[in-house]
């Protein structure tokens, strides 16, 4: 089945450690996105990528980094510079060109920093 | 990027219709109006989208104002499983930045 896979689903880390969240899609989508969601809040855009080897900052990119070396993969690193990293992280993808279709989301990764 | 405005919360009785409004006064000609819903601790799921004309699918209907500055998601008979946060967003054909607001929390009462 085509879809987006995020891992791990739950992650606990100590303060000051970098953490990398995985996002893989087999939908052949060019565009991929990372969102952060805090309790009771909407989704806020961290980074997005419209093509391999290119990505842009979203609204809250500070303390995060990404790479897009393959079309299928868009990992997110939460660095020690992120002041409040505990949150629910969502990855999404969509087509580009012509009618681009809807966003497909993964099931999310819940990061807790102790 | 164009923004959307939705009420924070709405309530409905089970088996009654629900009309969820969304304002998007700065919409551009190449923006599609999309609706998603999110259950707790899950990723949002697609509900429906449209460009200019009203749309129907098995989940819902989308009514788009003639000037495209507002739209309404219609759930014809709300069920308890429809209780969720509903997001209205604008997605452009260039697949650039896709920004969500805080959405509308729909409560369905039995």
Q: Using one digit for the tens of pLDDT, what is the confidence trace for B53-80?
A: 999 999 899 999 999 999 999 999 999 9
Is the pLDDT confidence value at A100 over 60? no
Chain B contact for A106 (CB, 8 A cutoff)? yes
Residues of B in contact with A45 (CB under 8 A): 97-100
pLDDT at B92 (0 to 100): 80
CB-CB: which of A30, A31, A90 is closest to B43?
A: A90
The nearest CA of chain B is from the CA of A87 a distance in Å of 11
What is the C-alpha separation between A43 and A33, in angstroms, rounded? 11
pLDDT of residue B98: 80
Confidence of residue A1 (pLDDT cuts 50, 70, 90): low
State the Cα–Cα distance between residues A9 and A21, nearest whole angstrom: 9
pLDDT tens for residues A78-88? Answer: 998 888 999 99
Give the Cβ contact number of residue B78 at 10 Å. Answer: 20
According to the model, what pLDDT value does residue A90 have? Answer: 97
Measured in whole angstroms, the distance separating CA A9 from the mean position of its chain's CA atoms is 13
B102 with A42: Cβ contact below 8 A: yes
- Look up residue A108 and give its two tokens: 């999310």
User: Would you call A107 and B45 a contact, using CB atoms and an 8 Å cutoff?
Assistant: no
Q: A110, B44: Cβ pair inside 8 Å?
A: no
Q: Report the gap between the CA of B78 and the closest CA in chain A (Å).
A: 22
Query: What does the pLDDT read at residue A104?
Result: 93
Q: Is the torsion defined by CA of B87, B88, B89, B91 positive or negative? A: positive
From chain B, pick out residues whose CB is under 8 angstroms from the CB of A30. 95
Q: pLDDT tens, B14-42?
A: 999 999 999 999 998 888 999 999 998 89
Is the pLDDT assigned to residue A25 strictly greater than 90?
A: yes
Checking if the pLDDT of B1 tops 70, the result is no
Q: Mean pLDDT, chain A, as a whole number?
A: 92
Distance, CA of B96 to CA of B83 (rounded, Å): 30
pLDDT for the residue numbered B102: 86
Looking at residue A85, the DSSP 8-state letter turns out to be: -
Q: Is residue B48 pLDDT above 90, yes or no?
A: yes
Among B96, B97, B103, select the one facing A42 at the smallest CB separation: B103
3-state secondary structure of A95: coil
Q: How many CB pairs under 8 A join A and B?
A: 72
CA distance to partner chain A, nearest, from residue B89 (Å) = 11
Q: Could you report the per-residue pLDDT of A62-71, keeping only the tens digit for each?
A: 999 999 999 9
DSSP A17-83: --EEEEEEE-S--SEEEEEEE-TT--EEEEEEEEETTEEEE-SS-TTEEE--SBTTB--EEE-TT-S
Q: Confidence class of residue A102 from pLDDT cuts 50, 70 and 90?
A: confident
pLDDT per residue as tens digits for the range A42-59: 999 999 999 999 999 999
B86 CB near a chain A CB, below 8 Å?
no
């Amino acid at each position: 089945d085509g879809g987006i896979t995020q891992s791990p689903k739950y992650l606990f880390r100590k303060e000051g450690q970098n953490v990398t969240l995985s996002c893989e899609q087999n939908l052949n989508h060019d565009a991929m996105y990372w969102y952060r969601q805090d309790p009771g809040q909407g989704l806020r855009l961290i980074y997005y990528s419209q093509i391999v080897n290119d990505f842009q900052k979203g609204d809250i990119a500070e303390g995060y980094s990404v790479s897009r070396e393959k079309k299928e993969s868009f990992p997110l690193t939460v660095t020690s510079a992120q002041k409040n990293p505990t949150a629910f992280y969502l990855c999404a993808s969509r087509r580009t060109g012509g009618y681009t279709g809807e966003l497909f989301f993964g099931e999310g990764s819940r990061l807790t920093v102790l | 990027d164009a923004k959307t405005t939705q009420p924070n919360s709405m309530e409905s009785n089970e088996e009654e219709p629900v009309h969820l409004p969304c304002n998007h006064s700065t919409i551009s000609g190449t923006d599609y109006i999309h609706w998603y819903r999110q259950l707790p601790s899950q990723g949002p799921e697609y509900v429906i989208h449209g460009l200019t004309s009203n749309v129907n699918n098995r989940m819902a209907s989308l009514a788009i104002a003639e000037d495209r500055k507002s739209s309404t998601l219609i759930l014809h008979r709300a069920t308890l499983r429809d209780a969720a946060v509903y997001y209205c967003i604008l997605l452009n054909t260039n697949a650039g930045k896709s920004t969500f607001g805080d959405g509308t929390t729909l409560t369905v009462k039995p």
